[in-house]
Copies of this chain bind each other. A is one copy, B any other.
Amino acid sequence: MAARMFALALTCATASALLTGHMSRLRADGRLPRGFSIGTTGLSFSPAEKPAMNAKMNMTLVVLDEPTESFAAVFTRNAFPGAPVLVGKRRMAERAVQAVVVNNKISNVCAGSPDGPVADSERVCAALAAELGLAGGAELVVPCSTGVIGWRLPVAQMCAAVPALVGARQRESALPAARGIMTTDAYPKMRAADACGGRIVAFAKGAGMIEPNMATMLAYVLTDVAVPRDALREMLPRVAAASFNCISVDGDQSTSDTLIALASGAVPLASGSAPLAEFERALLSVCAQLAADVVRNGEGVRHVMEVVVSGAPSEASARAIGKAVVNSNLFKCAVAGNDPNVGRILAAVGSCAGVVLPDVPIGGASIRIGGRSVFEDGRFQLTGDTEDVLYAYFKQAELPLHAETPCDEGFPFPPHERTVLIEVDLRAGDARARVLGADLTSEYVAINADYRS
């Protein structure tokens, strides 16, 4: 009943107010830091592997006014990384970069022209460097690709689209880029903060194949704060570990995961450790919010799970146990059905602990859902009304289907940011971790059972 009222509400005035608020936030967050311009363009092509298909691709371009030495990135640990990841790792050794080009639709992994997928990525970079008149050439351009794995990049069509891409640049907002990099994403994901007298804007894509081991599929951080190169490279992996590496939509790690940070340096940074710490706090806040956006927008997601594991012997074991809960297909299904099946949490915790903490007794653990104790000192605390109370708690955290969310702006939006909070206290140490995950719905199956047709 609550769901029906909610759905009804979303079709009338409330939806309009929510949408206005959401768009206001996106427009405000999108304001670019100084020193950046952004362009996007679209193109059509027929994949060599599926000639009858008329496929559409977006290209997105981020350009710095001047080359910068202050850039950092973390990449997927997948043993079959995409060609752009291989090229991107090389670029990290360069003295400076000045542009990032992103395409969706095809991820450029292990497939390509006779010269190979790396050569295909380099050709696109070279075309861009020429059009932008970059004296340093293709080495100043970082390529990124996301989409179907196994198909070839339509290099000729992409190079032909480069003049339009460069000509489309503007200096106002990152929102077109957040939209341009989407694949199965329902809406753009962007977060921002002001820090150290400058600005941080970050946007990401990723709705499926999300369990980053280094970074989410594709995420970009732009800032005008003059963070030194070494400091940026030291803090970015730390921030990724506590944000993007703590989320999972489906436990599937991508071949393209890439997080890139670019600093234009237009805003000087005061010396000393305090300004750097302020910047890192703001960066972490932005990335954590963006990571939550990625989960909330996950394929078919109706509930975001927030699992806080405390009392662990180490942060790594806390994170592993949190991941085990959010990746348990059985528990994910239960959450989708608003079924407070606490036994499945215990099974997931115990299964993981049996592997990562085989010699640590955790029989005195406790579990709380939405603040209510359901397991204490090795025994379930389930009374006749537990299920009703928890059902209502799960229900209020439900998101509507994207298809049910009305939208005047070309994409739907999340009507709330509530989570299903699960707290696990192992009572076996002082370390803790917070992991976000998603439920598993019939919509997820439907989206992924016929992704490419």
Q: B-contacting residues of A (Cβ < 8 Å)?
A: 49-51, 76-81, 107, 109-112, 148-151, 208-209, 213, 250-255, 327-331, 333-334, 336-337, 339, 341-344, 346-351, 353-355, 357-358, 362-363, 375, 378-380, 382-384, 386-387, 440-442, 444-453
Q: Is the CB of B253 within 8 A of A347?
A: yes
CA gap between A346 and B342 in the complex, in Å: 34
Q: Is the CB of A49 within 8 A of B251?
A: no
Q: If the complex has contacts A149-B347, A328-B252, A354-B213, are A386 and B337 also in contact, measured as CB distance less than 8 A? A: no
Instruction: Return A150 CB to nearest CB of chain B, in Å.
Output: 4
Instruction: Return A363 CB to nearest CB of chain B, in Å.
Output: 8
CA gap between A143 and B354 in the complex, in Å: 22
CA gap between A383 and B448 in the complex, in Å: 22
For A253, the closest partner residue in chain B by CB is B351
Q: If the complex has contacts A111-B380, A150-B342, A378-B110, are A252 and B80 also in contact, measured as CB distance less than 8 A? A: no
27 residue pairs bridging A and B, Cβ less than 8 Å apart: A50-B387, A77-B351, A77-B358, A78-B347, A78-B350, A80-B347, A80-B363, A107-B343, A109-B346, A110-B346, A110-B378, A148-B343, A151-B343, A209-B330, A209-B344, A250-B329, A250-B330, A251-B327, A251-B328, A251-B329, A253-B347, A255-B346, A329-B444, A333-B449, A339-B452, A341-B451, A341-B452
Q: Is the CB of A449 within 8 A of B150?
A: no
CA gap between A109 and B367 in the complex, in Å: 15
Cross-interface CB contact of A344 among B252, B346, B444, cutoff 8 Å: B252
Q: Is the CB of B384 within 8 A of A51?
A: yes
For A80, the closest partner residue in chain B by CB is B350
Interface centre among A80, A339, A375, A451 (most CB of B within 10 A): A80
Q: Is the CB of A336 within 8 A of B80?
A: no
CA gap between A79 and B363 in the complex, in Å: 8
Residues of B within 8 A of A208 (CB): 330
Residues of B within 8 A of A328 (CB): 251-252
CA gap between A107 and B253 in the complex, in Å: 33
CA gap between A347 and B217 in the complex, in Å: 12
CA gap between A401 and B285 in the complex, in Å: 47
For A377, the closest partner residue in chain B by CB is B110
For A351, the closest partner residue in chain B by CB is B253
Q: Is the CB of A440 within 8 A of B451?
A: no
Cross-interface CB contact of A334 among B251, B344, B441, B451, cutoff 8 Å: B451
Cross-interface CB contact of A150 among B107, B337, B382, B448, cutoff 8 Å: B382
The list of the 9 closest CB pairs from A to B, nearest first, reads A149-B343, A337-B449, A80-B350, A333-B448, A253-B351, A79-B353, A150-B343, A79-B350, A78-B350
Residues of B within 8 A of A451 (CB): 334, 339, 341
Q: Is the CB of B357 within 8 A of A79?
A: yes
Q: Is the CB of B209 within 8 A of A347?
A: yes
Residues of B within 8 A of A444 (CB): 329, 333, 445
